[in-house]
Copies of this chain bind each other. A is one copy, B any other.
Amino acid sequence: MTVSRAVELDGHIIDSGTLQTCFTTIMEQGGTFEVESFDIGKSETEESYARLSVRADTEDELKAIIHELHQNGANPIDPKDATLEPAPADQVVPTGFYSTTNHPTDVRVDGEWIPVERNEMDCAVVVERTPAGARATARVLNAIEADDHVVVGETGVRVKPPERPRDSSGAFGFMQGGVSSERPSQSTIAKIADAIIETKSSGGKVLAVCGPALIHSGAREALARLVRTGYIDMLSAGNGFAVHDIERDRYGTSLGMNTETLDHPRSGHKHHIYALSEVIRAGSIPNAVAEGLIDSGVMYECVTNDVPYVLAGSIRDDGPLPDTITDTIEAQNAIREQAHQADMVLMLSTLLHSVAVGNCLPSTTRVVCVDINPATVTQLLDRGSDQAVGMVTDIGTFVPMLAEQICE
């Protein structure tokens, strides 16, 4: 027995790789296909259209194939409304719920396609009918409440992966190049600086996600300058980042080493725990700034320039600081708010926080990922955004060069 279903694709499906992905997906999964219709865009600005009939031996196999095609932007032809089922309990989704990708997605409700709001990966979609019409929202599992109307299956769901930009000029044109440790460093930094300037000048918001290595490697003053001059709108980091930033302010050291003279490398291992203890005594970082306890650095600039920050807790934290959100779900929610407001995200030498932020990002947000470990950069870029660019370099030289490019 053979079962089949028709799917269609449109847009720049050849140069964005969509058609290729669909063909190989079908073959890898053991299916076959027939191209029922194909209109190729006659030039680089015209879109193409393809209709395929997909066949498999069993309904289950066909479903698996259709599911994959669907993730990649090929949608069943016959539009029906999405199937909705009530959540049986808080945090419990109906069996077979639709799990989101990070691409722009619509669901069909009452005959109309409506966009899924606040979309991100691995969520359920909850539909609410309001007087102003139906709304669909992506929700993480722990935010589901009993009786929420949750989309089940793939019927009435339409996914649109972002297309490749039509040209590679402009400040964002270079953001299609993947990772390389062998690209010219200074020229790449200049391109990233341009992209930040362009984002800001068009009213966009820049979120910096920072790891403690940024402080240890001596990039603190340059990042503080970017906060002060208004190029960073939001900061996402962990307890350790803030502690080491404050240690540098209070003791001139990071991990006990003087970041300017490199002197006394063995002394000062207790500086970070002392800095921590002083902020705990003050009650919070803003209090410590108000008391004059902290008068320089990244956290200082955030406080005095009203740049909101999220310090997310982790099991490896000392202390932690009173400002650190120790509950990971609460911290994720705070990160989520930042992620959905950001137009451009700089991921600066932290795997943990970058993954956490990346999990909340739609595939359309611009991302720059910088780390000295190529495996970290690769892992972050693999999460699927075509708007992401990775650079394998030293954060301790990258941020100062970037700040100089931007501010001068």
Contact = CB atoms under 8 A, between A and B. Distances in A.
B26 A33 contact: no
B260 A187 contact: yes
A338 interface: no
Contacts of A259: 184, 187
Contact of A217 (B182, B260, B320, B378): B182
A29 B40 CA distance: 21
Given A14-B23, A17-B20, A277-B141, A28 B312 contact: no
A401 B374 CA distance: 22
A98 to B, nearest CB: 9
Nearest to A96: B274
A260 B281 CA distance: 51
A398 B353 CA distance: 27
B99 A270 contact: yes
Nearest to A355: B316
Nearest to A274: B99
A277 B29 CA distance: 26
Contact of A216 (B17, B20, B184, B316): B184
B41 A168 contact: no
A333 to B, nearest CB: 10
Nearest to A141: B319
A328 B321 CA distance: 13
Interface string A255-299: 101011110111101100110110011000000000000000000
Max chain B C-beta neighbours (<10 A), residue from A186, A261, A317, A353: A186
A285 B14 CA distance: 45
Contact of A280 (B92, B168, B174, B394): B92
Interface in A346-398: 352-353, 355-356, 359, 372-375, 378, 392-394, 396-398
A191 B262 contact: yes
Contact of A218 (B186, B281, B335, B372): B186
Contact of A332 (B185, B270, B315): B315
A40 B48 CA distance: 13
Contacts of A281: 88-89, 92
Interface residues of A, number: 113
Interface stretch (A63-71, A75-83, A108-116, A130-138): A63-71
A314 interface: yes
Contacts of A177: 262, 265
A257 B254 CA distance: 38
A3 interface: no
A93 B274 CA distance: 10
A352 B314 contact: yes
Given A93-B277, A326-B329, A318 B122 contact: yes
B40 A27 contact: no
Given A185-B217, A189-B397, A328-B328, 12 more contacts: A27-B168, A28-B264, A35-B41, A68-B267, A92-B277, A140-B318, A141-B319, A177-B262, A187-B262, A316-B356, A316-B359, A374-B378
Interface of A: 14-17, 19-20, 23-29, 32-35, 38, 40-44, 50, 64, 67-68, 71, 88-89, 91-93, 97, 99, 122, 140-142, 164, 166-168, 174, 177, 181-189, 191, 213, 216-219, 254-255, 257, 259-262, 264-267, 269-270, 273-274, 276-277, 280-281, 312-320, 326-329, 331-332, 335, 352-353, 355-356, 359, 372-375, 378, 392-394, 396-398, 400-401
16 contacts: A20-B20, A34-B43, A38-B38, A89-B281, A97-B277, A141-B318, A181-B213, A181-B394, A183-B216, A184-B216, A184-B217, A184-B262, A317-B328, A328-B328, A393-B396, A394-B394
